[in-house]
Amino acid sequence: QIAAEMTRLYLFLTAACIVTYLLLGMTGFDAVMHAFSTVSTGGFSNYDASFGRYLGAPEWAASVFMILASIPFIRMVQAMRGNFVPFWRDVQIRAYLRWIFYACAIIVVYRLLYVQQDARPAEVIRETVFNTISTFSGTGFSSTDITQWGHLPFAILIVCGLIGGCTGSTGCSVKVFRYLVLFEAVRVQVRRMHSPHRIYALRYEGRPLDKDVVDSVMAFFTLFMLSFGLLIVGLSLTGLHPKTALTAAWTAIANVGPAWGPEVSENGSIADFPLAAKWMMIFGMFLGRLELISVLVLFLPRFWQR
């Protein structure tokens, strides 16, 4: 029943997104194409300029739907049943929205103070909010060249892509939940070092975390960062520029979408990449989308033994 309700919720969000895009001036085909891509956080556009063809109000609408698509669907199902308490109390949702706000605020301030002092604040805010949410949620739409924002905003967006959306959503990458568990584990470990004779329990939303959950999160982080690093090295060995290798590995394993570097065309195409680099990115996308362990276990001989 829950699965059926989540499916209906997905279809409802998609239909609402289509209607919203139509009301904001998109053609019928473009509205359907971009709505499915928005709600599935896929980021595919039928234009080389990605979402840059529809600036203004459509960007704000897309930002709202990208956020909705990257928070736990089960919480929205509960809200649709009339129970809003779990939604508002969900630590993961609050952290996700808070981190989006922090990232957007830092980038806007930096751009207005150091990069685009003469730009209109409203335009800077709109561009920043849309592209930050698109990267954070793993959607991958773009409406402008973010490499022109400066080094700090670029670094922040790379970090956002490595965080991703919430668990139980259509978002990709590591997910907010795992970072919250990691931060809690680090906090408890620091407290244990300060008071080694006291017992500290790892808690999430006020409830103790099972050791299996913590071990699973740590294993995932280790595998993710190791795979990310190996993919960067592998892409570099194919002859790609270091910046290209970094962003290509990032966009593949975190399932974000865009890449930047000398070998990437103006419309974001990687057609000029070496064939070996493309195969590596394909494997990286499988790893990231299927969350690593379920793919790597296929290479264990005992997995195939009866």
- The full DSSP string for 237-277 is HTT--HHHHHHHHHHHHTT-----STTS-TT---TTS-HHH
8 Å CB contact between 174 and 221: yes
CA 158 to chain CA centroid, Å, is 10
Contacts of 226 (CB under 8 A, 6+ apart): none
Residue 128 domain flag: yes
Cα(149)–Cα(106) distance, rounded to whole angstroms? 12
* Residue 148 shares a structural domain with residue 225: no
Lowest mean pLDDT among 58-62, 163-167, 300-304: 300-304
Give the position of tokens 């089960």: 74
Given this model, what pLDDT does residue 306 score? 62
* Residue 145 shares a structural domain with residue 182: no
* Residue 140 shares a structural domain with residue 224: no
pLDDT grade for 191, boundaries at 50, 70 and 90: confident
8 Å CB contact between 98 and 136: no
Beta-strand relationship, 207-208 and 203-204? antiparallel
10 Å Cβ neighbour count for 298?
9
* Residue 126 shares a structural domain with residue 104: yes
8 Å CB contact between 255 and 173: yes
Query: In this predicted model, which residue has the larger pLDDT, 23 or 215?
Result: 23
Contacts of 181 (CB under 8 A, 6+ apart): 202, 204, 209, 213, 214, 217
Residue 168 domain flag: no
* Residue 49 shares a structural domain with residue 154: yes
Task: Work out the average pLDDT over 108-117.
Answer: 90
DSSP letter (8 states) at residue 115: I
Task: Work out the average pLDDT over 268-287.
Answer: 89
Strand, helix or coil for residue 203: strand
Residue 108 pLDDT greater than 90, yes or no: yes
Range of the domain at 179: 175-209
Given this model, what pLDDT does residue 83 score? 84
Residue 50 domain flag: yes
* Residue 196 shares a structural domain with residue 150: no
Helix axes 73-80, 2-23, angle to 10 degrees: 90
**pLDDT of 25-41, one tens digit each?**
999 999 999 999 999 88
Residue 149 domain flag: yes
Cα(281)–Cα(5) distance, rounded to whole angstroms? 34
* Residue 64 shares a structural domain with residue 100: yes
pLDDT grade for 204, boundaries at 50, 70 and 90: confident
Residue where a domain terminates, one of 185, 209, 233? 209
Task: Work out the average pLDDT over 225-233.
Answer: 93
Residue 184 domain flag: yes
Strand, helix or coil for residue 168: coil
Residue 294 pLDDT greater than 80, yes or no: no
Is 45 exposed, middle or buried, given 0-12, 13-18 or 19+ CB atoms closer than 10 A? buried
* Residue 277 shares a structural domain with residue 159: no
Residue 169 domain flag: no
* Residue 75 shares a structural domain with residue 158: yes
Given this model, what pLDDT does residue 5 score? 83
Strand, helix or coil for residue 207: strand
Instruction: Tell me the torsion sign for CA atoms 140, 38, 75, 10.
Output: negative
Residue 153 domain flag: yes
8 Å CB contact between 31 and 21: yes
* Residue 279 shares a structural domain with residue 159: no
Given this model, what pLDDT does residue 190 score? 87
Partners of residue 203 on adjacent β-strands = 208
Lowest mean pLDDT among 16-20, 42-46, 99-103: 42-46
* Residue 157 shares a structural domain with residue 188: no
Q: What are 286's two structure tokens?
A: 């499988």
Amino acid in position 104? C
Per the document, the length of the chain is 306
pLDDT grade for 47, boundaries at 50, 70 and 90: confident
Residue 75 domain flag: yes
Cα(57)–Cα(38) distance, rounded to whole angstroms? 15
Percent of the chain at pLDDT exceeding 90:
44
For the chain, what is the domain count? 3
Phi first, then psi, for residue 204 (nearest 5°) are -135, 120
Given this model, what pLDDT does residue 238 score? 92
8 Å CB contact between 147 and 260: yes
* Residue 12 shares a structural domain with residue 146: yes
